[in-house]
Structure 1
């Protein structure tokens, strides 16, 4: 196995990086937007170099090789025998969610989401004229989140609920749903005729091999009502390639989504995106294993360092994703104050928990896919800022 280096991040100067340019020149660590501070895998960079070397960057089709690369990865990595013909390209997972909402529901229909959750889940429902139904996760005393199945069953019994958007693994709380939990979702949704959109963009960022279970793989009944959204963007740090895929076993649902893609003129893939996806899925697995080990070490370091020096914060290493969900309630700060505290006192840009629809007040999300030096500096800055806050009281 090739040894990859993650300690020395590349330069972000002059590349219009959304993550690093927000507070450019202000000595603020950007640990917010969900991409990594690592170069893309060599297999991706080599594929891009070969494609550019051809000198042709014209219109590109979603080829059979592309679909086979997606399906092959699902089989090797997750044991899911998805068929290449089930794959539909889309420029991004959020775009895919919006396409599915329009293709599979009507204006006025209700759609369920489970906050605290990725903010665009709300917008793709409301911006498309559908009714938003919240099924908040339950947080146990030990900080572990679970689904509120009793409430969900009541909500699905309402005739207007046509769709559930599942975040699996969950962003931001880091849960990787068990097979039993997913079977319960499938059983309830199947009973009430509700489709399931499973956003599985973080599926590969799970630290226990075999722990992640694709929703559509759990049963034939689940596959019949599933529309899986996936992408190599988080896994291989290629979000700028604007590539994602919907994997839809049900032919009727696939036809509806294909028609909506056509209406929106969303089927065109870029030449470089096409090359990057094949390069990632066919040659990036060794790089991913090393990246996961590095990120997990960062997460564990931050959990232990903050646990020692900042008892006001509570944080546990997630089951999946490269994120940390910081419980900052012990600081006693209102949400606006909390955001300013991290930005102005700790000089760190995090994602405010209050933006995750509901249930995130008093929390902040931290991206641990950074160099160890950055993680160490983040822990030092947080500890110093909290010490100053204590002294001021």
Structure 2
């Protein structure tokens, strides 16, 4: 490999939220928030250093390189021929959820989500005065999450339902939705005139045997009824630059979103955000490929280890993301007891499953985007703690 993913980097001296915000003691491994412990690609580091040599950092121009880089990534990686003019700059993915809510619904209207899911989905709906409808994902006998399409149709047909927030690949369910599933979602949303907001921030993080399909690539009809959100932060460890993109093929939707952006005075780009975004999506394909090879080995090792040595904690086969969704219900603990057990006994800083909403109680989320030695240490600590119960 060109990149060394085994390298141990001390992040406690870098104002790092994963390590410092929660004030974890030295004997607790922070494996929660969704960034990686890997160094960025050399190309990104070099581009930043080169630009930083210039002593002025005033307002930048809105270079079309940004839009072209986003379009290139979707075309080369996923086969979706995106027109660069469809691309809108964003200081992250979440602002576009808010823009969509404000542009395409009124207070009291309804938004459908699929819990357990990324916590800001529900928060941003409620904080903007809209009602939340839950199409809860259901587990099969193997722990794999499935969509309840009968329930989904019931929620979408409500005349006050205006938006459907989709996480694909799904965080934390580790699902990479199939073409059949996406088609059924798209057809139902068209039938009931519900706009799809597809958060595809984990699109690069799929394991062998699975393939990410951009929602807008499936058909022209779907493309004209969606906003697809992407961001290189999860893949290239550049979340701190707060830069993402929205792909909006429908000009009417795009223009209405632009009005909302202007109304909220949220225009203007960042120098280093654009620089890292463009560099990642034009020069760092090899890094994304190598990281997934590395994560594949960590994921496979973890699945085998838990099945053989920690069977009381279940892990369904992860299809995507480096965020492992641990089913701890066989430990027979309350959620507070489970959190305390992971922190005080296993010495692991994990995400509380209950924060992901309905269906998250009894679960914890573990981030394995770190050197494999760290994953191995975490599993050993978890095994020791469970065996001591």
TM range (shorter): over 0.9
- Aligned equivalent of 1:322: 322
- Aligned residue number for residue 17 of structure 2: 18
Matched, 1:241 2:238: no
CA distance in 1, matches of 2:82, 2:192: 25
Contact 1:299 1:317 in 2 (8 A): no
* Partners of 1:62 and 1:89 within 8 A in 2: no
Contact map agreement 2:101 2:125 (CA 8 A) in 1: yes
> Could you say if the C-alpha distance between residues 145 and 222 of structure 1 is closer, same or farther in structure 2, counting changes exceeding 3 Å?
same
Residue matched to 2:350: 350
Moved more, 297-306 or 378-387: 297-306
Which residues of structure 2 form unaligned runs of 5+? none
Following TM superposition, by how much is the alpha carbon of 1:53 offset from its aligned partner in structure 2, in angstroms?
2.2
Change (3 A) 1:210 1:313: closer
Residue in 2 that maps onto 1:158: 158
2:190 counterpart SS class:
helix
Q: Give the structure 2 partner of residue 8 of structure 1.
A: 7
* TM-score, normalising length: structure 2: 0.97
SS of residue paired to 1:92 = coil
CA 354–210 in structure 1, closer or farther in 2 if over 3 Å, else same: closer
1:216 aligned to 2:219? no
Q: How does 1:196-211 map to 2 (within 5 A)?
A: 196-208=196-208, 211=211
C-alpha distance in 1 between matches for 2:136 and 2:100: 22
3-state DSSP class of the match of 2:89?
strand
Partners in 2 of 1:64 and 1:32 — Cα distance?
A: 35
| Correspondence for 1:30 | 30
Distance (Å, rounded) in 1 between the aligned partners of 2:194 and 2:137: 19
Asked whether 1:266 is paired with 2:266, we answer yes
Q: Residue 80 of structure 2 contacts residue 217 of structure 2 at CA under 8 Å; is this kept in 1?
A: yes
Q: Counterparts of 2:150 and 2:166 in 1: how far apart (Å)?
A: 16
In structure 2, what is the equivalent of residue 339 of structure 1? 339
The structure-2 alpha-carbon separation of the partners of 1:8 and 1:290, relative to structure 1 and needing over 3 Å to count, comes to same
Kindly provide the CA deviation profile for residues 175-229 of structure 1, in whole angstroms up to 9, marking residues without a partner as x: 0011111110110000110000000000111123771100011011101110111
2:372 aligns with 372
Asked if the contact 1:9/1:39 (under 8 Å) is kept, the reply is: no
Aligned residue for 1:308?
Answer: 308
How many equivalent residue pairs? 388
User: CA deviation digits over 1:16-43, x for unaligned, max 9?
Assistant: 1000112343411001000000011112
After TM superposition, the runs of 4+ consecutive aligned structure 1 residues lying more than 6 A away are: none
SS in 2 for 1:165: strand
Distance in 1 (CA, whole Å) between partners of 2:193 and 2:24 is 49
Provide the aligned C-alpha RMSD in A. 1.2
How has the CA–CA distance of structure 1 residues 148 and 44 changed in structure 2, closer, same or farther, with 3 Å as cutoff?
same
Alpha-carbon shift at residue 128 of structure 1 (Å): 0.3
For the pair 1:77 / 2:84, whether they are aligned, the reply is no
**How far, CA to CA, are the matches of 1:207 and 1:93 in structure 2?**
23
CA contact (8 A) 1:298 1:368 kept: yes
TM-score between the two structures when normalised by the length of structure 1: 0.96
Deviation at 1:8, TM superposition (A): 1.4
Partner of 1:60: 60
Decide whether the 8 Å contact of 2:24 with 2:349 is kept in 1: no
Alignment partner, residue 231 of structure 2: 231
Matched, 1:182 2:173: no
Mapping 1:43-122, distance limit 5 Å: 43-122=43-122
**Structure 1 residue 288: Cα displacement:** 1.1
